[in-house]
């Protein structure tokens, strides 16, 4: 992953993609295409579509393989606690696949003819699909929209932030593992969030130790040689939401498409997830109250 250039003007600046510091940046073309151009009509269409969604959360990480998709799935299952595999179109757009009565999913994987097909798309096509998922999917009245993102700070991240900017994003949950090679990329992801004015809900340290199911002894599979996520969060002054230990049942439940919380209610990982989800709920609730106060103030 390439780091944003020093002195980046930000994606919402009139100089986005055009400044001297933008030369050589992998996102230069995307930023320049939006700077000073007429607003994309899809932004307002997405804002209208998102009126029935109370909270919007992005799951990010600079590094691949840290467990974003697994965390996103469990976050959705946990928030959805208070069959069909076909995507079809209704009068108001695509209908998501519902794995529970109150838990729907939309993925490019549902649109492929075979699960073994590769998605080989350039940036514009990927961004167009993101736009369709936000604008054309009939999400209905839901409390949370969880967006699982690819690693890095690429076109897809900018597209999601720009398309949802008018509709409001509650914030980002950032995943890492304890070792320094992951933390280096996560610091860049946090810098990206600051540059595009995306609130950081907090950091989750995933795969944080392994507790043997037999002897209950804890081992560090990924040693936190530089202090792990805790030291990084203290240095950057952002919240550490919690640590999720490795548990073989997490992988098994994902393979079966089942909720890990139901399969392993007494696992230390389940307790960690529930604590993290509680803190995310609190953050979204406080943001909602703050926004309501701002709206009331404007009405006075």
109-113, 129-133, 183-187, 278-282: range with lowest mean pLDDT = 109-113
For the cut 80, the answer to whether the pLDDT of residue 39 exceeds it is no
Burial (0-12, 13-18, 19+ Cβ within 10 Å), 125: exposed
Burial (0-12, 13-18, 19+ Cβ within 10 Å), 41: exposed
The pair of three-digit structure tokens given for residue 222, joined into one six-digit string: 């990924």
List, in order, residues 6 or more apart from 298 with CB less than 8 Å away: none
Dihedral pair phi/psi, residue 254, rounded to 5°: -65, -40
Q: Are 238 and 202 within 8 A, CB to CB?
A: yes
Query: How confident is the model at residue 286, as a pLDDT?
Result: 77
With cut-offs at 50, 70 and 90, classify the pLDDT of residue 102.
Answer: confident
* 51-78 average pLDDT score: 92
The CB-side HSE value for 95 (13 A sphere, CA atoms) comes to: 11
Q: Are 174 and 200 within 8 A, CB to CB?
A: yes
Dihedral pair phi/psi, residue 184, rounded to 5°: -60, -45
Please report where in the chains the tokens 């999917």 appear, as a residue: 137
What average pLDDT is seen over the chain?
84
Query: How confident is the model at residue 290, as a pLDDT?
Result: 55
Q: Are 150 and 195 within 8 A, CB to CB?
A: no
For the cut 60, the answer to whether the pLDDT of residue 4 exceeds it is no
Maximum mean pLDDT: which of 86-90, 168-172, 216-220, 247-251: 168-172
For residue range 216-259, list pLDDT tens digits in order: 788 888 989 899 999 999 999 999 999 999 998 898 888 888 88
Domain ranges of the chain: 42-299
Torsion of CA 164, 166, 169, 172, to 10 degrees: 60
Query: How confident is the model at residue 294, as a pLDDT?
Result: 45
For the cut 70, the answer to whether the pLDDT of residue 174 exceeds it is yes
Q: Are 209 and 246 within 8 A, CB to CB?
A: yes
Q: Are 161 and 190 within 8 A, CB to CB?
A: no
Architecture of domain 42-299: 3-Layer(aba) Sandwich (3.40)
pTM above 0.85, yes or no: no
**162 or 16: which carries more pLDDT confidence?**
162
The proportion of the chain whose per-residue pLDDT surpasses 90, expressed as a percent, equals: 40
Query: How confident is the model at residue 81, as a pLDDT?
Result: 83
Q: Are 61 and 176 within 8 A, CB to CB?
A: yes
Question: What's the helix, strand, coil split of the chain in %, to 5?
Answer: 45, 20, 40
Dihedral pair phi/psi, residue 287, rounded to 5°: -65, -40
Q: Are 198 and 171 within 8 A, CB to CB?
A: yes
Query: How confident is the model at residue 1, as a pLDDT?
Result: 41
* 134-150 average pLDDT score: 91
Strands 93-95 and 88-90: antiparallel
Query: How confident is the model at residue 5, as a pLDDT?
Result: 54
């Amino acid at each position: 992953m390439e780091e944003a250039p020093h002195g980046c003007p930000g994606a919402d600046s009139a100089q986005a993609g055009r400044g001297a510091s933008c030369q050589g940046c992998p996102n230069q073309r995307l930023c320049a295409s939006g700077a000073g151009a007429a607003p994309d009509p899809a932004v307002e269409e997405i804002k209208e579509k998102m009126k029935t969604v109370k909270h919007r959360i992005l799951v990010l990480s600079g590094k691949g393989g840290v467990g974003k998709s697994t965390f996103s799935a469990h976050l959705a299952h946990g928030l959805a606690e208070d069959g069909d595999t076909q995507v079809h179109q209704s009068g108001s757009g695509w209908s998501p696949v519902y794995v529970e009565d109150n838990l729907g999913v939309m993925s490019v994987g549902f649109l492929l003819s075979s699960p073994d097909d590769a998605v080989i798309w350039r940036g514009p096509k990927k961004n167009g699909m993101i736009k369709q998922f936000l604008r054309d999917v009939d999400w209905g009245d839901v409390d949370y929209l969880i967006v699982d993102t690819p690693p890095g700070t690429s076109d897809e991240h900018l597209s999601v932030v720009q398309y949802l900017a008018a509709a409001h994003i509650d914030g980002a949950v950032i995943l890492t593992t304890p070792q320094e090679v992951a933390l280096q990329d996560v610091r860049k992801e946090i810098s990206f969030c600051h540059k595009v004015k995306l609130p950081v809900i907090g950091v989750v340290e995933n795969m944080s130790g392994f507790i043997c199911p037999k002897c209950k002894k804890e081992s560090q599979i990924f040693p936190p040689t530089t202090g792990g996520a805790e030291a990084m969060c203290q240095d950057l002054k952002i919240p550490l939401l919690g640590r999720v230990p490795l548990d073989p049942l997490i992988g098994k439940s994902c393979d079966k498409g089942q909720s890990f919380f139901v399969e392993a209610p007494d696992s230390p990982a389940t307790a960690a997830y529930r604590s993290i989800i509680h803190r995310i709920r609190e953050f979204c609730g406080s943001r909602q109250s703050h926004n309501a106060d701002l709206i009331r103030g404007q009405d006075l």
